[in-house]
Amino acid sequence: MASSVNNIAATFATVTGSSSSTISASSSVSTSSLTSFPLSIPQRPLSVSWNPHTSLPKSHTPSLINLYGPPGPRRSFNSISTVKSKPIAVPVGYKLPDVTLSYLAQNGAVQFVSLRRLCKGKRVVLVGVSAAFSPSCTRFVKRVESEKSRAVDLLACVAFNDVFVMKAWGENLAVGEKVMMLSDGGGELCGALGMTVDAGATACFGLGVRPRRFCLSAVNGVVTSINFDDDVEDDALPSIKSTV
């Protein structure tokens, strides 16, 4: 009887020991498995993780994001530097520079004309604008045309735009043959007059270097009066009556 009890106790001890060793082995395996597989997800800054558009290619971003930009405050254009202008190079009493301008004739051919030859023996009013079809410049040309004196032999409008744009703008203004629409594509005339203005800082317009709005009167190629406007954006027109 005693031997049977001893055998049972020995068997129970063996089973218990093997079970405990199995449990400890499995726990060690599970522990090692946890430590051998660290998290592979990189830590991302909050500013990137909250905005999914930053991780997408540009072609996959919504159209509104492309148009209006990512979320956040809009860029302030008030901090951008102001328009930079140059001093006038040809004051009253000086001869107009001998530059070549171009225009589109009625038959569609591009014509070139010398400014001095155009002004020789004539009373001329020359109007410079920053950009064809812009609202301020359109009002500027219309006002000059309405204030044109009968004594003026030629009224011409000049801009950096090409001859096709200038002709289309003249047709849109319905000026007909009353205003000669000239192209100063290379900026030779406005540069020689000192009538250029760097509007590149005004990023929302995309103008770059353009002519000032000016109104110049000349007799036989000699400047008799000139008025100009430094501001490219506002509609601060000069006194046209005093010029014409």
Name the residues annotated as catalytic.
Answer: 137
Q: Are 148 and 155 in contact (CB under 8 A)?
A: yes
Phi, psi of 151 (to 5 degrees): -75, -10
Q: How far is residue 120's CA from residue 76's CA, in Å, rounded to a whole number?
A: 49
Residue 97's identity, in one-letter code, is P
- 63: tokens are 């159209």
Q: How far is residue 51's CA from residue 70's CA, in Å, rounded to a whole number?
A: 9
Residue 137's identity, in one-letter code, is C
Query: Which DSSP helix (H) or strand (E) runs through 155?
Result: strand 154-159
Q: How far is residue 203's CA from residue 74's CA, in Å, rounded to a whole number?
A: 14
Q: How far is residue 90's CA from residue 216's CA, in Å, rounded to a whole number?
A: 11
The widest CA-to-CA distance across the chain, in whole angstroms, is 147
What is the β-pairing status of strands 100-104 and 110-114? antiparallel
Q: How far is residue 62's CA from residue 74's CA, in Å, rounded to a whole number?
A: 18
List the 196-198 sheet strands across, edge first.
84-85, 196-198, 209-211
